[in-house]
Structure formats: C-alpha cells, structure tokens
C-alpha cells in the first residue's frame, strides 16, 4: 500500500468502526427504552383518534383546526362520562355478580366433567397445576405495581396525545431533521400515509368493538345468560387484540352459561355468530377501504410483539403491523425495489401461460 494512502485507509476504517458502534449503541438504547417507545406510540394513537373526530368537523363546519380539535376532546370526554354514567352502575353490578357467578359455574362444570372419564383425566391434570395458583398469589405485589404503572402510563399517554394532536408539525419537523435533507420529502409522505392508515384502522376497530359488544349483549340476553351487559363489554374490549382477544373474551360467557346445556349451546351460537358477522359481513362491506391486514400477518404480528415486547406489545400489535406495512411498502417496495404493489398479481389470479 502507498504510504500516502495508509492514513486515508486507517481513517475510513475508524469511521466504519465508529458507525458500527454507534448503530449497536442506538439499538441497545432502543431496547432499553422499548416500553417508553410503546407509550409514545400510544400517544400517537390518541392524537390520531382526535384528528379522526376533528377532521369531519373541520371540513363540513369550516372550523379552524384548534377549535375542531377542542370539540373532539370535549366529545371524547363527554362520551366517556356518559358511558360511565349510563352503564357504569349496571355494568359494575353485573361484573361484581359475574365474579361471584364464575367460581360456582366452574364448580358445576368440574362436577359434570368428573362424571365423564376423559373429563376426570383433564381435571386430574389441572389439579396438578396447584403450584400455578401459589405462584400467582406470590406475584400479587408485582401485579399491583404493574397496575399502578399502567394507570400512570395511561395518564401520560393521554396528555402526550393531546400535545401531539394540537401541535403535530413541531414533532414531525423534529423527526424529519434527524434524516438527510434529500430524504425528508419522502419521509413526510410516509408519515402522512401512516397517519391515514392508523386513522382507518382505528375507525374500523371502534365500529368492530361496538358491533360485537352489542351483538353479544343482545344475543346472551335473549339466550338467558346472566349478566349479558358485562359479558358484551368484555367481548367488545376483546376485539382490541385480534384473534387472541375474542377467544379469551368467550371464556367468561361460556362459564356463565355452563349451568344448562341448552343455554351453553345458545351462548356458543351467539359468540360464533357475532364473530362471523364481524368478519364476513361488517369487515368486507363497511371496511373495504380501511386498513386491513391478512389474518396470517395479524396473527404473527401478535406473536412477534408478544415475544419481543410483552403484554404491552400485544396490545399494540395490529397498529404496529399497519405501520410496518406502510413503511415496507413505501420505503422498500416502492423506494428500493421500485415496484408498484397494486400492479402485482392478486390472490386468486390465474398464472399466465408462457408461449
């Protein structure tokens, strides 16, 4: 090597080593701050919700943005207060009654299973899990601390979402300054596309929760299942976590209906019918233009976020998957590969014959 070029090569090697160390350091820092980043993402969702309500007001009533956002905040606060006032006492009483009913329902179910040889085998296996109850009891203080942290985190998310909703340009401008100047226009387009996709997903989620909650409540009430309103609320909230949430939301309802075989059968029909109505009627007809992900992608997103980020990641699995989908499509597929996703083959298309 030419002695003149040796310092240049050494300098290039040092710069590469520093870049690698900086990348590794940033990655480790992001891992340590993962919970904080998820709370920040929750604040983004709060801002998206407020903008989704304020946008029609701003467009149809010709209001300025700050006034429409203020009305949106008032609407959300009054809606929450109204729900608590109208359904709070009744739902609270039904939830309390349900907490007393479920142990007795499990006891009756255990008695029925004990009379059936395969059921008796299942019960023996479950009795061997007694250590799990002791472990859960020992985790009581930690669970209480996690609950307090969740409440505090929710308050932070709400207030941060308010700041982000009223002053989005400040935060977007700061994020764009971290990127090279030539990449900033495209990054702004990606950010806007993510905002639109998250707004569509959020609107679809709210409609889905309302549909499933009302359907389950009415269906279980007609079937004679105790505490239908509380069970309907649980079913609606279960829609937040796709695939996994609805399955867990079914368990209290089935246990509450397990006292009579006919009631149990009708409860199964109600839950299955609500799921089919939401998946095969509401989603295709009403949400055709909203953000939809394939069920396989959604399932793996839930699994991946659960492994990497814990319960908080599972809660944000779908919006994170929607965000990742937009980034991959606009940054990688359209920006690097140079393809157009809408021009590719669609599921069900026949392959072209080669002459």
Contact 101, 256 (CB under 8 A): yes
Contact 197, 291 (CB under 8 A): yes
Which of 243 and 55 is assigned the larger pLDDT?
55
Percentage of the chain surpassing pLDDT 90? 0
Q: What CA–CA distances, in Å, run from 335 to 5, 25, 65, 176, 341? A: 36, 27, 32, 17, 12
Per-position DSSP letters for 211-226, written without gaps between them: HHHHHHHHHHHHHT-S
pLDDT at 93: 61
Place of tokens 């905002």: 195
Place of tokens 């359907």: 215
pLDDT at 142: 54
Question: Does the pLDDT of residue 163 top 60, yes or no?
Answer: yes
The rounded radius of gyration (Å) of the Cα atoms in the chain is 26
pLDDT at 136: 45
Percentage of the chain surpassing pLDDT 70? 68
Contact 208, 198 (CB under 8 A): no
Exposure b/e, 265-277, CB count within 10 A at least 16 = b: ebbeebbeebbee
pLDDT at 301: 76
Between CA 159 and CA 149 the distance in angstroms is 16
Between CA 311 and CA 111 the distance in angstroms is 34
**Span 17-46, average pLDDT:** 79
pLDDT at 289: 52
Which of 196 and 121 is assigned the larger pLDDT?
196
Between CA 155 and CA 162 the distance in angstroms is 11
Express each pLDDT in 259-314 by its tens digit.
777 888 888 888 888 888 877 766 655 554 555 566 667 777 777 777 777 777 77
Place of tokens 């007001």: 57
Mean pLDDT, rounded, of the chain: 75
Q: Which of 30-39, 67-76, 146-155 is predicted with the least confidence, judged by mean pLDDT? A: 146-155
Express each pLDDT in 38-75 by its tens digit.
888 888 889 988 888 888 888 888 888 888 889 989 98
Contact 186, 335 (CB under 8 A): yes
Name the phi and psi angles at 177, rounded to 5.
-65, -20
pLDDT at 113: 62
Contact 226, 256 (CB under 8 A): yes
- Tell me how long the chain is: 355
Question: Does the pLDDT of residue 198 top 80, yes or no?
Answer: yes
């Amino acid at each position: 090597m030419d002695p003149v070029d040796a310092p240049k090569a050494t300098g290039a090697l040092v710069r590469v080593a520093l870049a690698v160390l900086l990348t590794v350091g940033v990655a480790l820092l992001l891992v340590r701050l993962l919970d904080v980043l998820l709370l920040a993402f929750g604040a983004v969702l709060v801002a998206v919700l407020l903008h989704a309500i304020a946008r029609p007001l701003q467009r149809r009533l010709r209001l300025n943005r700050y006034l429409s956002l203020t009305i949106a905040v008032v609407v959300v606060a009054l809606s929450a207060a109204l729900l608590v006032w109208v359904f709070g006492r009744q739902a609270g009483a039904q939830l309390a009654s349900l907490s007393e009913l479920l142990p007795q329902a499990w006891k009756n179910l255990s008695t029925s299973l004990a009379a059936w040889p395969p059921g008796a085998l299942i019960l023996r296996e479950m009795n061997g899990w007694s250590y799990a109850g002791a472990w859960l009891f020992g985790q009581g203080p930690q669970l209480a601390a996690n609950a307090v942290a969740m409440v505090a985190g929710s308050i932070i998310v709400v207030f941060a979402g308010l700041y982000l909703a009223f002053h989005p340009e400040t935060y977007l401008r700061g994020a764009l300054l971290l990127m090279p100047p030539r990449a900033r226009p495209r990054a702004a387009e990606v950010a806007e596309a993510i905002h639109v996709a998250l707004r569509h997903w959020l609107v679809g989620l709210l409609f889905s929760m309302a549909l499933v909650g009302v359907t389950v409540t009415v269906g279980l009430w007609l079937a004679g299942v105790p505490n239908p309103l509380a069970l309907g609320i649980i079913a609606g909230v279960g829609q937040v976590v796709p695939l996994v949430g609805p399955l867990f939301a079914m368990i209290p309802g089935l246990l509450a209906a397990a006292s009579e075989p006919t009631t149990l059968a009708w409860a199964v029909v109600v839950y299955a019918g609500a799921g089919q109505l939401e998946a095969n009627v509401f989603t295709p007809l009403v949400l055709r233009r909203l953000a939809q992900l394939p069920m396989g992608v959604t399932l793996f997103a839930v699994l991946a976020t659960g492994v990497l980020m814990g319960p908080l990641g599972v809660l944000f699995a779908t919006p994170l998957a929607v965000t990742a989908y937009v980034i991959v499509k606009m940054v990688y597929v359209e920006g690097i590969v140079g393809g157009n996703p809408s021009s590719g083959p669609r599921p069900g298309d026949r392959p072209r014959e080669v002459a």
